[in-house]
Amino acid sequence: MKIKFTKMHALGNDFIIINNIKKNLFLNKIVIQKLSNRYLGIGFDQLLLIELSLNQNIDFHYRIFNANGDEVEQCGNGARCLALYLKIKKLTSKNIICVSTKNRLIYLKILNNKVISINMGVPLFNPKDIPFLTNSIKNTYKILFQNKYINFNIISLGNPHCVIQVKDVSNTPVSLIGSFLENHKLFPKKVNVGFMQYLNKNTIKLRVFERGVGETKSCGSGACAAAAIGIKKNILSKKVYVNLIGGIITIFWKGNNKNLFMQGDANYVYDGEIIL
């Protein structure tokens, strides 16, 4: 069986995108794990599967699978790549595209051939929306790790995030703490872990340990999560530049129950096919 795919990346966070509009393709967890292998397969952080929407007001539905084969709810960088893919493949002539994910609608706006703006919707902070198991709602939570408490905030952009403010992201054991929190019993659906270093009111540094993937060069929803937490805590302005390993994402959020917007680039790499 041959599978045609397109390889893309957004700030080094890489994807394969597969057109499944005819719904003739089913990929199980084992197959996705083989495809994601960077030595024996294609290699990617996430796989994006495009399908037709059953709602006439929604242009497309898309499904997101992490490298370990788990289907997840949201991917900010993937959404930007999806917008560029739809344009390159001439699947739409629109510059504003409405797509549905596993649990929400998002709007993709193509500003030029590379820069994409995404309306990520309203950030959610209630523990049940993450989900995070707790008996009380707090501004900051803490978990004991190696005899010390880690203070963190929780947020959902359609997928679960835990954000930790650190003094220096370069000297933070991202994989060690990230893996611990990703698999902690208080996060029943696991969690993406962001490590945020404050630089000034408009700028942060960020490293993200993604559930089912590990640390990636960038994470769009992770950038949204960190910026939103900083804005909610009044330490960041309403426009934030998020410096990730792979580059910069710009976040706009006016707070409260307003929609959050993410802006950044997307890049086409190549088209290919692989025999399973």
Domains in the chain (CATH in brackets) are 2-122+265-275 (3.10.310.10), 127-257 (3.10.310.10)
- Measured in degrees and rounded to the nearest 5, phi and psi for residue 12 equal 90, -10
The confidence score (pLDDT) of residue 264 equals 97
At residue 87, the 3 state secondary structure works out as: helix
Say whether 275 sits in a helix, a strand or coil. strand
User: What tokens does 11 get?
Assistant: 């700030």
Residue among 81, 162, 219, 224 flagged as catalytic: 219
- The four Cα atoms 101, 107, 110, 114 give a dihedral, to 10 degrees, of -40
pLDDT in tens, the chain (276 residues): 899 999 999 999 999 999 999 888 999 999 999 999 999 999 999 999 999 998 999 999 999 999 999 999 999 999 999 999 999 999 999 999 999 999 999 999 999 878 999 999 999 999 999 999 999 999 999 999 999 999 999 999 999 999 999 999 999 999 999 999 999 999 999 999 999 999 999 999 999 999 999 999 999 999 999 999 999 999 999 999 999 999 999 999 999 999 999 999 999 999 999 998
The strand ranges marked E within the chain are 2-10, 13-19, 46-52, 60-66, 71-72, 96-100, 105-110, 115-121, 141-145, 148-156, 160-165, 192-200, 203-210, 214-216, 239-244, 247-252, 260-265, 267-275
**Torsion over CA: 167, 169, 170, 171 (sign):** positive
Q: Is residue 83 a contact partner of residue 19, using CB atoms and an 8 Å limit? A: no
pLDDT on residue 240 = 98
Given this model, what pLDDT does residue 24 score? Answer: 84
168 in Cβ contact with 201 (< 8 Å):
no
Give the pLDDT score at 112: 83
The strand pairing partners of 47, in sequence order, are 16, 65
Is 75 among the residues known to form the active site?
yes
Q: Closest Cα to residue 264, out of 213, 206, 209?
A: 206
Radius of gyration of the chain (CA): 18
Question: Rounded to whole angstroms, how far apart are CA atoms 64 and 81?
Answer: 12
Which of the 8 DSSP states describes residue 124?
B
C-alpha count within 13 angstroms, C-beta hemisphere, residue 231: 25
pLDDT score of 114? 81
Q: How is the chain split among helix, strand and coil, in percent rounded to 5?
A: 20, 45, 40
pLDDT score, position 1: 84
